[in-house]
Amino acid sequence: MNVPQSSPGSRLDNYVDRYAARTAGMTASEVRALFAVASRPEVVSLAGGMPNISALPLDAVGDTVARLVAERGTVALQYGSGQGDETLRSQICEVMRLEGIEAHPDDITVTVGSQQALDLVTRVFIDPGDVILAEAPSYVGALSTFAAYQANVVHVGMDDDGLIPEHLDNAITAVRESGKRAKFLYTIPNFHNPMGVCLASERRARILEICRRHDLLIVEDNPYGLLGFDGEPMRALRADDADGVIYLGSFSKTFAPGLRVGWAVAPHAVREKLVLAAEASVLSPPVFSQMTVSAYLETQPWKAQIKTYREMYRERRDAMLDALQTHMPDGTTWTRPAGGFFVWVTLPGGLDAKAMLPRAVTARVAYVPGTAFYADGFGASSMRLSFCYPPPDRIREGVRRLASVIAQELELRTMFGAPAGRPLPGSASPTTQAPGPDLA
Ligand code: PMP
């Protein structure tokens, strides 16, 4: 059978006129084509946020899956409940206890990764034009979801200690004075994507106090909380305000992203809406994935596996920070993450990270330009570097290549007194980019 292909002037082009207004916010990243090049083996990609699952005991996982199918296959391969598997929900409570959260399995909605939890929360709360407060910068996948629901994202300043409480207070007031009411604050308190920083513990109580005072709901997105390199996990915001915080968790970084198992913990009334929204979206989250995670938690040393991940990522973080210190030209600054996957680098001399990307890729290194993490076009002088995936020697080589590209750009700028190179098409316009694996 011939499948009709869309070609210029074909009848299929007409459908564009019929798209829903919300599709205007669904735009592909203009750096996506470059990422296709960046996935070539000779390019060191510091762009992707892919967990390094080669550290997993694949044989043991395989045995767990085989036993699951042999012994409970008729359940594991059947439809399940919209809220998620009850045994897994109890185990999730145990996982969250590591961050001080006391929850009941009834409070939990299992989702298809925390990305679906973000989608459901946004669907439940956001009408077109509604305001969401979000850190500046913010996770690109969340910005894509917010754009798909036509939210108006207002960014709130951050520094090396995370979200700045005074800025939050001022932003809530400014939104209110403009005649609107922010629907929720979206925040990533631990090992932030893309900045790598953590919300300082003394700020946590202040953020909760401000949100309580303004009656603002918090959406706490915490996929990296157990991936700290030193000490105990930070206490979750949700641990100190069960009524004011929706908490999102994920097994993508502590186990495996391919299973697509995440969850939301929400106040009771909200939880009911989330389950109804989930049922309308996927009927039930995949039972097979949930039971695989559940069996893994029950039979495998999952805490030891998280320790293995932490040690591996720590070594990679060290390699990246060391290489940045050794190679980066004066004036370049970067964050020093104590966990997670990312370093946020800010370029000197007004250099534009997006304009520079094609030259970096030619020099066989890739990163994500900072503008991807803003809904309003800011972030041009910054970039996100990931240390999660390449081995330490590749990270060192990638940073060395990147530093020499930056040095050349600075030299050109000194010679010609103008920003080097042409910006990529669209680089001046505010965009929210569909994530894809390189932007995860
Ligand atoms: N939130 C943040 C901050 C993330 O970095 C990611 C993935 N990169 C997600 C949510 C989504 O993760 P998943 O759907 O795999 O749980």
Q: Give the model confidence (pLDDT) of 197-256 as tens digits.
A: 999 999 999 999 999 999 999 999 999 999 999 989 999 999 999 999 999 999 999 999
Taking the C-alpha atoms of residue 133 and residue 118, their distance in angstroms, rounded to an integer, is 14
For position 422, what pLDDT does the model report? 45
Quickly state the pLDDT bin for 434 (edges 50, 70, 90). Answer: low
Q: Give the model confidence (pLDDT) of 81-113 as tens digits.
A: 999 999 999 999 999 999 999 999 999 999 999
Nearest CA to ligand 1 atom 13: 113
Taking the C-alpha atoms of residue 144 and residue 154, their distance in angstroms, rounded to an integer, is 14
Ligand 1 test: best mutation among 92, 111, 115, 140, most atoms within 8 Å of CB? 115
Tell the burial category of 54 from Cβ atoms under 10 Å away from its Cβ (0-12, 13-18, 19+): exposed
For position 222, what pLDDT does the model report? 98
Quickly state the pLDDT bin for 432 (edges 50, 70, 90). Answer: very low
- 129: helix, coil or strand? coil
Distance 155 CA to ligand 1 centre (A): 19
Ligand 1 test: best mutation among 110, 146, 195, 250, most atoms within 8 Å of CB? 250
Ligand 1 test: best mutation among 114, 118, 121, 191, most atoms within 8 Å of CB? 114
Secondary element (H or E) of residue 187: strand 184-187
Q: Would you state the torsion angle of the CA atoms of residues 312, 353, 192, 243, taken in this order, to the nearest 10 degrees?
A: -150
For 174, the token pair is: 């400014």
Distance 177 CA to ligand 1 centre (A): 33
Report the chain's mean pLDDT, rounded to a whole number.
Answer: 92
255-260: average pLDDT? 97
Yes or no: say if 395 and 343 are a contact pair by the CB < 8 Å rule: no
Distance 248 CA to ligand 1 centre (A): 9
Distance 115 CA to ligand 1 centre (A): 6
The atom of ligand 1 lying closest to the CA of 139 is: 3
Residue by residue, DSSP assigns 336-393 as --SBSSEEEEE-STT--HHHHHHHHHHTTEE-EEGGGG-SSS--TTEEEEE-SSS-HH
The atom of ligand 1 lying closest to the CA of 257 is: 15
The atom of ligand 1 lying closest to the CA of 114 is: 16
Give residue for tokens 């992203």.
257
Give residue for tokens 């001046």.
428
**Which of 91 and 40 is assigned the larger pLDDT?**
91
Nearest CA to ligand 1 atom 5: 193
| Close Cβ partners of 405 (under 8 Å, ≥ 6 residues apart) | 356, 359, 360, 363, 365
Residues of the chain with pLDDT > 90, as a percent, come to 83
For position 436, what pLDDT does the model report? 56
Tell the burial category of 3 from Cβ atoms under 10 Å away from its Cβ (0-12, 13-18, 19+): exposed
Yes or no: say if 134 and 142 are a contact pair by the CB < 8 Å rule: yes
- 150: helix, coil or strand? coil
Ligand 1 test: best mutation among 146, 221, 222, most atoms within 8 Å of CB? 221
**pTM: predicted TM-score of the whole model, two decimal places:** 0.93
Nearest CA to ligand 1 atom 11: 115
For 294, the token pair is: 């559940």
Taking the C-alpha atoms of residue 324 and residue 205, their distance in angstroms, rounded to an integer, is 34
Nearest CA to ligand 1 atom 6: 440
For position 440, what pLDDT does the model report? 72
The sign of the dihedral angle between the CA atoms of 140, 142, 146, 148 is positive
Q: Would you state the torsion angle of the CA atoms of residues 288, 290, 292, 294, taken in this order, to the nearest 10 degrees?
A: -150
In degrees, to the nearest 5, what angle opens at C-alpha 387 toward C-alphas 385 and 392? 130
The atom of ligand 1 lying closest to the CA of 188 is: 3
Distance 119 CA to ligand 1 centre (A): 12
For position 10, what pLDDT does the model report? 64
Q: Are strands 184-187 and 333-334 parallel, antiparallel or unpaired?
A: unpaired
Residues of the chain with pLDDT > 70, as a percent, come to 91
Taking the C-alpha atoms of residue 251 and residue 318, their distance in angstroms, rounded to an integer, is 24
For position 36, what pLDDT does the model report? 79
Q: What are the respective helix, strand and coil percentages of the chain, to the nearest 5?
A: 45, 15, 40
For residue 46, is it left (φ>0), alpha (ψ between -120 and 50) or beta? alpha
For position 439, what pLDDT does the model report? 63
Distances (CA, A) of 270 to 164, 199, 211, 267: 27, 26, 17, 6
**Which of 292 and 9 is assigned the larger pLDDT?**
292
Nearest CA to ligand 1 atom 7: 440
Quickly state the pLDDT bin for 38 (edges 50, 70, 90). Answer: confident
Pocket of ligand 1 (CB under 6 A): 49, 113-115, 139, 141, 188, 193, 221, 223, 250, 252, 257, 262, 440
Distance 196 CA to ligand 1 centre (A): 14
Ligand 1 test: best mutation among 120, 192, 252, 289, most atoms within 8 Å of CB? 252
The atom of ligand 1 lying closest to the CA of 118 is: 10
- Answer yes or no: is pLDDT of 5 > 60: no
The atom of ligand 1 lying closest to the CA of 440 is: 8
For position 37, what pLDDT does the model report? 77
Q: Give the model confidence (pLDDT) of 357-387 as tens digits.
A: 999 999 999 999 999 999 998 999 999 999 9
